[in-house]
C-alpha cells in the first residue's frame, strides 16, 4: 500500500479527496490535516510515502512545509496540489524539493497515477503550468525583498514591517522601493498583488 498524508485546509475538499483516494486499491490515506504547521509532526508519526500538500494553508504554506519534509522526513515524496497554477509557485515548489505539481481541476485518476509516479522516482508537473513557468523565468525578488513584501501584505506601515522583519525603517523602504521597481508597479500594494499573481510570494 502507498501511504499518503493529505494536507488541505478546506474540510469538504480534504474529506472528498481522502474518500476518492481511499477507493484506489493500492492507496491508503494515513493522515489528514488542515494546517501547514502540523505536517512535519504528523509525517514523523504516520511515516507516509507521499505527502499531498495544498499551497495555501494556515500556519505554514505547503511550499515551506515541503522544504521541511525534505529535511526532516527525506523518505517522503511531496506532491503539491493547488487551485493556483502560478508559474512562480511551480519554481518554488521544485526548489523546496517537491516531486510533483498539479492543479486541482484534474480527474482523481490522474492524481492517483501522479502519486504512483512520484513514488517511482518520477517528476510529475502539469504541462500547461510547466510551459508558463519556463516563459515567466525566475522571480526577480531577493529573499529579503520577498520577506518585506510578505510583511506588507495586510497594509502594514513601514514601522510595522520593520519590527516584523527586524530591519530598520530606512532599510525596509529600500527593499520596498526595489520590489516596486522589479514588479513594475507604482506602490507596495500593487507590488504585493503583482508578486502574488506571479506566485513569487
pLDDT tens figures, 28-46: 999 999 999 999 999 999 9
How high is the pLDDT of residue 165? Answer: 92
The share of the chain scoring above pLDDT 90, in percent, equals 59
| Cell 517528476, residue located | 123
Residues 33-61, mean pLDDT to the nearest whole number: 95
> 173 or 199: whose pLDDT is higher?
173
Q: What is the pTM of this model?
A: 0.69
Instruction: Tell whether the model's pLDDT for residue 93 goes beyond 60.
Output: yes
Does pLDDT of 119 surpass 90? Answer: yes
Whole-angstrom distance, CA of residue 37 vs CA of residue 41? 8
User: Residue 26's pLDDT is what?
Assistant: 96
Span 106-134, average pLDDT = 83
Region of 186 please: left (phi>0), alpha (psi -120 to 50) or beta.
alpha
Contacts of 119 (CB under 8 A, 6+ apart): 2, 49, 50, 77
Distances (CA, A) of 41 to 34, 64, 149, 184: 13, 14, 29, 40
What does the pLDDT read at residue 134? 58
Q: How far apart are CA 101 and CA 90, in angstroms?
A: 7
Amino acid at each position: 500500500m502507498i501511504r499518503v498524508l493529505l494536507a488541505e485546509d478546506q474540510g469538504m475538499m480534504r474529506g472528498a479527496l481522502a474518500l476518492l483516494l481511499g477507493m484506489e486499491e493500492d492507496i491508503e490515506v494515513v493522515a489528514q490535516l488542515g494546517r501547514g504547521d502540523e505536517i512535519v509532526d504528523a509525517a514523523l508519526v504516520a511515516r507516509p510515502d507521499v505527502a499531498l500538500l495544498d499551497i495555501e494553508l494556515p500556519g505554514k504554506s505547503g511550499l515551506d512545509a515541503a522544504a521541511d519534509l525534505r529535511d526532516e522526513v527525506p523518505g517522503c515524496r511531496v506532491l503539491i496540489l493547488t487551485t493556483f497554477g502560478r508559474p512562480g509557485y511551480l519554481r518554488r515548489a521544485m526548489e523546496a524539493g517537491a516531486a510533483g505539481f498539479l492543479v486541482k481541476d484534474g480527474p482523481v485518476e490522474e492524481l492517483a497515477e501522479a502519486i504512483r509516479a512520484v513514488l517511482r522516482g518520477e517528476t510529475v508537473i502539469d504541462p500547461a503550468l510547466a510551459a508558463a513557468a519556463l516563459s515567466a523565468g525566475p522571480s526577480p525578488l531577493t529573499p529579503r525583498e520577498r520577506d518585506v513584501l510578505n510583511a506588507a501584505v495586510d497594509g502594514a506601515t513601514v514601522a510595522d514591517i520593520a519590527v516584523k522583519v527586524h530591519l530598520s525603517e530606512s532599510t525596509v523602504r529600500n527593499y520596498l522601493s526595489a520590489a516596486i521597481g522589479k514588479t513594475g508597479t507604482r506602490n507596495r500594494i500593487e507590488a504585493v498583488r503583482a508578486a502574488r499573481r506571479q506566485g513569487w510570494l
